[in-house]
């Protein structure tokens, strides 16, 4: 339980905001999200599914630039914070200021910290406390939930 408390504290310091549906700036109907997103992006962003490990080309993206939410184009992660976690998903050690929201996820065998886009509430992935310095965090993101814009 101690590791969970540490992770929650550090995630809060990483400028995450609590997930609250009433605070989302971008709200669309389910039909509008289905029309806007690819089937895979819809399943991940709106239904909180997980893409298959190793399936995203963004895991191998190494250019300078910014990773945006595929749902609303909010900048989420700078390329300088991306690292190879060996998990098969794009991983970052820190989000951009004010970019994400978090909530507890008890859908599997243990409670994890789920990461959402602060602006549209789209499910991005999870954050773990096994990342590199300087934060020690690993934001393990679904590539289909992201867009990359080169600098």
Q: Taking the domains of the chain in order of start, what are their residue ranges? A: 2-150
Residue 55 CA, distance from chain mean position: 16
The stretch 55-72 carries a mean pLDDT of 97
Q: Is 75 helix (H, G, I), strand (E, B) or coil?
A: strand
Phi, psi of 113 (to 5 degrees): -105, 115
Q: What is the band of 106 on the pLDDT scale with cuts at 50, 70, 90?
A: low
Task: Identify the weakest region by mean pLDDT among 76-85, 97-106, 124-133, 137-146.
Answer: 97-106
The reported pTM is: 0.83
Residues classed as catalytic: 140
Q: Is 116 helix (H, G, I), strand (E, B) or coil?
A: strand
Q: Which CATH number fits domain 2-150: 2.170.150.20, 2.40.180.10, 3.40.50.300, 3.40.190.80?
A: 2.170.150.20
What is the separation, in whole angstroms, between the first and last Cα of the chain? 41
The C-alpha atoms of residue 122 and residue 27 are separated, in whole angstroms, by 10
142 in the Ramachandran plot: left (φ > 0), alpha (ψ -120 to 50) or beta?
beta
| pLDDT over 70 (residue 145) | yes
Task: Identify the weakest region by mean pLDDT among 39-43, 59-63, 110-114.
Answer: 110-114
Degrees, nearest 5: CA angle 108-75-102:
30
Alpha helices, H only, 30-142 = 30-36, 39-45
């Amino acid at each position: 339980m101690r590791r969970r408390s540490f992770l929650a504290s550090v995630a809060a310091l990483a400028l995450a905001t609590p997930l609250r549906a009433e605070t989302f700036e971008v709200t669309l109907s389910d039909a509008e999200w289905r029309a806007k997103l690819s089937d895979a992006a819809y399943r991940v962003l709106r239904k909180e599914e997980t893409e298959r490990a190793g399936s995203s080309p963004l895991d191998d993206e190494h250019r300078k630039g910014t990773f945006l939410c595929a749902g609303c184009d909010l900048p989420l992660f700078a390329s300088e914070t991306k690292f190879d976690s060996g998990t098969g998903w794009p991983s970052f050690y820190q989000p951009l200021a004010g970019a994400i929201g978090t909530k507890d996820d008890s859908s599997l065998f243990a409670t994890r910290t789920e990461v959402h886009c602060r602006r549209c509430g789209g499910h991005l992935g999870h954050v773990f406390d096994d990342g590199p310095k300087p934060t020690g965090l690993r934001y393990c993101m679904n590539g289909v939930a992201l867009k990359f814009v080169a600098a």
